[in-house]
Amino acid sequence: MSVLKTKPVEQCISDTEVEGHQLRRDLSALDLTVFGVGVTIGTGIFVLTGVAAATKAGPAIALSFVVAAVACALAGLCYAELASAVPVAGSAYTFSYATLGELIAWIIGWDLVLEFTLGGAAVAKGWSKYLVELLPFTLPASIAGDSPTVDVPAALVVAALTVVAILGVKFSARFNSLLVAVKVAVVLLFIAVGLTAVKASNWSPFIPPAAKAPKAVTAVETGTPVIQLLLGQEPLDYGLLGIGFGAAIVFFAFIGFDVIATTAEEVRRPQRDLPIGILGSLAICTVLYVIVSVVMTGLLRYTELNDAAPMAKALKANGLDLAASLVSLGALAGLTTVILVLMMGQARVLFAMSRDRLLPEGLAKVHPTFRTPWIISLLTGTVIAVITALVDLETLADLVNIGTLFAFVLVSIGVVVLRRTRPDLQRAFRTPAVPLIPALAVVACLFLMLNLGTHTWYRFLAWMVIGLVVYFFYGRRRSRLATGEKTVATGDGQAR
């Protein structure tokens, strides 16, 4: 059955040599770590921390970050092995094509499309909220603010970044480095200035007793967490369970370290650089997040943090207005890089899928001058701009989380499968304690998924059903693998 066929790893690599479909290979380990931190620190910490503390976990949101980080570290260890064994574009999609067969690869690819498209849209909404915070005048509530009808600034920033993405990776990476530096600087500024004004009384109770929380300012409706239904508990927030609900939301703050894997084809020494980039950026972000959330909930009582720009609000509430403005400015710069990198990750996954003909091949054309997959970038940018303009932040973030967690589950299983099916394959990085670590990764990711609401689950299942329909009616018959067509690179760089 073709759906179970896997694509030989060697073919994955040789497919990248097809003329007209090559990306430029010039990223280093440092570029990757910057890239990782660049995409990772974003709306998750700048917006969702406050909202999740106020509506799910209270000051214990710091523990939620630790829970989410553990799941990410476990999945990251699996990601790093697959990324170093199958160093080509397309991330988990490509890895699974070589390990779990075409159908699972399609499911993961489709899932990543969800992650990157909605992720970009969600972050653009965070960007828009900090812009409102910073502007000296007020924009009408219908076009900007906590819950606008059409989020105009969010759509505009996506349009501008689409142009940047089309102009090319190296340019984007440099642009990225500068903005990442600004972003890390403002996070450190928030911590340093904030620490001078925290009040220990705000941390008590650290784990608020279970109660009904107010609705998040950034959300319409995400439903009751599935785990609560399974346990037959009342639909209350906070309490011990609240730490899990919070973790399932702030998991969003970690998304991005996996995007590094999508650049494998553009990395100079993927075997060494990918694991460094993935695990290094994850470690840096975890430390920063835990400290930021402790400081934020120490500056202002958690019940007051239900705000679209909670960092600025927490500083202002303590008379630290200048720091609040600087943080907002830095957040704007920082969020810009996240949108950009998510859009680039998206382009690369779609690029790999269309090169394999699971999607129309014409999409994968590389621009002759910029060497970027420009058709895909244009398409992606347009879709993201429309979504960010119309959908609320938490609906987007939760959907991104469930999709990403599901991809992590499949990737973790993929590591174990590949160890069995291709023990000979060279792996610059080997996940320790296989199959224990992959098994724990699966459990941790499933746990976080269960902490998401019923509406999020329905939306996710609907997206997956659409994906399966597209696969069975389009990709299954047309893919290179199904048609038996190989793309063999010849010495002169021409495909045969």
Q: Greatest CA separation found in the chain?
A: 70
Instruction: Report if residue 43 touches ligand ALA, rule: CB under 6 A.
Output: yes
Instruction: Report if residue 38 touches ligand ALA, rule: CB under 6 A.
Output: no
Helix, strand or coil for residue 258?
helix
Q: Judge contact between 44 and 65, C-beta under 8 A.
A: no
Alpha-carbon distance values, 462 to 101, 468, 470 (Å): 22, 10, 13
Side-chain-side CA neighbours of 391 within 13 Å: the count stands at: 24
Compare residues 78 and 255 and give the one whose CB is closer to ligand ALA.
255
What does the buried/exposed string (b/e) look like for 181-216 if buried means 16 or more CB atoms within 10 Å of the residue's CB?
A: ebbbebbeebeebbeebbeeebbeeeebeeeebeeb
Instruction: Report if residue 40 touches ligand ALA, rule: CB under 6 A.
Output: yes
User: Interacting stretch for ligand ALA, rule CB under 6 A, among 82-90, 229-237, 248-256, 380-388?
Assistant: 248-256
123, 198, 217, 295: which one contacts ligand ALA (CB under 6 A)?
123
Compare residues 397 and 411 and give the one whose CB is closer to ligand ALA.
397
Instruction: Report if residue 346 touches ligand ALA, rule: CB under 6 A.
Output: no
Please report how close the Cβ of residue 250 comes to ligand ALA at its closest, in angstroms: 8
User: Interacting stretch for ligand ALA, rule CB under 6 A, among 254-262, 265-273, 290-298, 447-455?
Assistant: 254-262
Amino acid in the structure at residue 439? A
Please report how close the Cβ of residue 322 comes to ligand ALA at its closest, in angstroms: 25
Q: Judge contact between 279 and 81, C-beta under 8 A.
A: no
Instruction: Report if residue 255 touches ligand ALA, rule: CB under 6 A.
Output: yes
Instruction: Report if residue 253 touches ligand ALA, rule: CB under 6 A.
Output: yes
58's torsion region: left (phi>0), alpha (psi -120 to 50) or beta? Answer: left
How many residues sit in the footprint of ligand ALA (CB under 6 A)? Answer: 12
51, 182, 338, 364: which one contacts ligand ALA (CB under 6 A)?
338
User: Interacting stretch for ligand ALA, rule CB under 6 A, among 197-205, 250-258, 346-354, 416-424?
Assistant: 250-258
Instruction: Report if residue 44 touches ligand ALA, rule: CB under 6 A.
Output: yes
Instruction: Report if residue 252 touches ligand ALA, rule: CB under 6 A.
Output: yes
Rounded Cα distance, 271 and 426, in Å? 9
Please report how close the Cβ of residue 257 comes to ligand ALA at its closest, in angstroms: 8
Compare residues 100 and 180 and give the one whose CB is closer to ligand ALA.
180
* Burial zone of 442 (CB within 10 Å; 0-12 exposed, 13-18 middle, 19+ buried): buried
For the chain, the residue count is 496
Token pair 């990737």: residue: 411
Compare residues 85 and 385 and give the one whose CB is closer to ligand ALA.
385
- Report the number of secondary-structure helices (H) and strands (E) in the chain: 20, 0
Q: Judge contact between 325 and 134, C-beta under 8 A.
A: yes
User: Interacting stretch for ligand ALA, rule CB under 6 A, among 157-165, 166-174, 247-255, 368-376?
Assistant: 247-255
Residue nearest to ligand ALA (CB): 42
Closest CA to 162 of 342, 423, 408: 342
User: Interacting stretch for ligand ALA, rule CB under 6 A, among 35-43, 295-303, 412-420, 440-448?
Assistant: 35-43
Q: Which long-range contacts (CB under 8 A, 24 or more apart) does 422-426 make?
A: 422/9, 422/85, 422/98, 422/99, 425/9, 425/85, 426/85, 426/271
Please report how close the Cβ of residue 286 comes to ligand ALA at its closest, in angstroms: 12
Compare residues 45 and 364 and give the one whose CB is closer to ligand ALA.
45
Helix, strand or coil for residue 368?
coil
Instruction: Report if residue 83 touches ligand ALA, rule: CB under 6 A.
Output: no
Q: Judge contact between 364 and 355, C-beta under 8 A.
A: yes
User: Interacting stretch for ligand ALA, rule CB under 6 A, among 207-215, 252-260, 415-423, 473-481?
Assistant: 252-260
Compare residues 328 and 354 and give the one whose CB is closer to ligand ALA.
328
Side-chain-side CA neighbours of 384 within 13 Å: the count stands at: 35
User: Interacting stretch for ligand ALA, rule CB under 6 A, among 42-50, 216-224, 241-249, 484-492?
Assistant: 42-50
Contact code string over 256-285 relative to ligand ALA, x by CB under 6 A? x-----------------------------
Amino acid in the structure at residue 15? D
- Would you tell me which residues interact with ligand ALA (CB under 6 A)? 40, 42-44, 119, 123, 252-256, 338
